[in-house]
Amino acid sequence: MNRLSVIVVNWNGEHLLADCLGPLTGGPFDVIVVDNASTDGSVQLLEKSRGSVRMIVNQANRGFAVANNQGIATAKTDYVLLLNNDTVPNTAALEAVVSFLDEHPAVAIVGPTLVNPDASPQPSCGPGPNLWTELLGKTLLHRLLPGLRAKAPSQARAVDWVTGAALFARTSVLRELGGLDEGMFMFYEDLDLCARARERGHEVWFVPTAPIVHIGGASTRNVEAKSLVDSYRSTDRYFRQHGPSWRRWLVRAMTVVEMMVRSVIWTVLWLVPSKRTLARLRLRAYSTIARLAIGIGK
């Protein structure tokens, strides 16, 4: 009997599915693909793998959290892996984490080693969101001073969160928690899930494994402006549900300043003809986020 269900949420990721699903087919895993109303031929491609892949096809894009919860509801195994469609999984890593969970019953959620396509390490765990991490992100210091970013530990250890790009969890704990927060359409669901698990007394660990390649952002680049707004909504929801209210409002104030600065930069970039379309989309997104941050709009 298989011990691990691998749940892959897909939206217009036909070009990614072969690399993602290829290493999984024929292995000791139940593979469940939840398609969020793709229009690029993904469903037709998946139909050809129906014998080795279970499919759930939504008629509308219901979001990352809802789609994963659909997969979790059908899982019949002890453990679940929530896996992005822009990853190339390593079966040795999957088997290593299953063994780790077998040996550590107090651990509910595990994140493995993730790398970029060039094999460089990719941040995959860290401390919970706080004013410092928000300041790093909003001032772009995390890019100017990459050494400030949390690095993946070299040994297995407890952490505050692991990324949802490849997140292992006990099926029983996911159901205890009610799955991912469906109020978060995209982004921050993984941090919220880990926070709720720790609040219930469960442990979240990072476990070094054979690397899993994560392209990162490949499935969202075409909707970047909408993704910015979705990301803000999820961030605000996270701070509303975890921690004191003053911290949420301080993050909102920081967000307004950030949007003003970004708007100035992209207004200048709008003057470059090749940047004009992207600038228009970003400026619209920044305006929406600023209004949400000061309490105007929904």
Predicted confidence (pLDDT) at residue 143 exceeds the cutoff of 80: no
The pLDDT of residue 222:
46
Q: How far apart are the first and last CA of the chain?
A: 47
Does 157 share its domain with 260?
no
Does 114 share its domain with 187?
yes
Place 148 in a pLDDT band, splitting at 50, 70 and 90. Answer: low
The pLDDT of residue 51:
74
CATH number of the domain where residue 90 is located: 3.90.550.10
243 within some domain: yes
The pLDDT of residue 75:
96
Over residues 284-288, the mean pLDDT reads 94
Does 241 share its domain with 173?
no
298 within some domain: no
Q: For residue 74, give the amino acid letter.
A: T
The pLDDT of residue 57:
95
pLDDT tens profile 12-47: 999 999 999 999 988 899 999 999 999 988 999 888
Q: What is the pTM of this model?
A: 0.87
Residue 243, CA distances (Å) to 23, 130, 187, 239, 247 in order: 40, 9, 18, 6, 7
60 within some domain: yes
pLDDT tens profile 64-78: 999 999 999 999 999
Does 187 share its domain with 84?
yes
Does 210 share its domain with 225?
no
Domain residues for 17? 4-214
Tell me the C-alpha distance between 82 and 120, whole Å: 22
The pLDDT of residue 227:
83
Does 29 share its domain with 131?
yes
269 within some domain: yes
- The answer to whether the beta carbons of residues 4 and 29 sit under 8 Å apart is yes
Over residues 195-220, the mean pLDDT reads 87
Place 150 in a pLDDT band, splitting at 50, 70 and 90. Answer: low
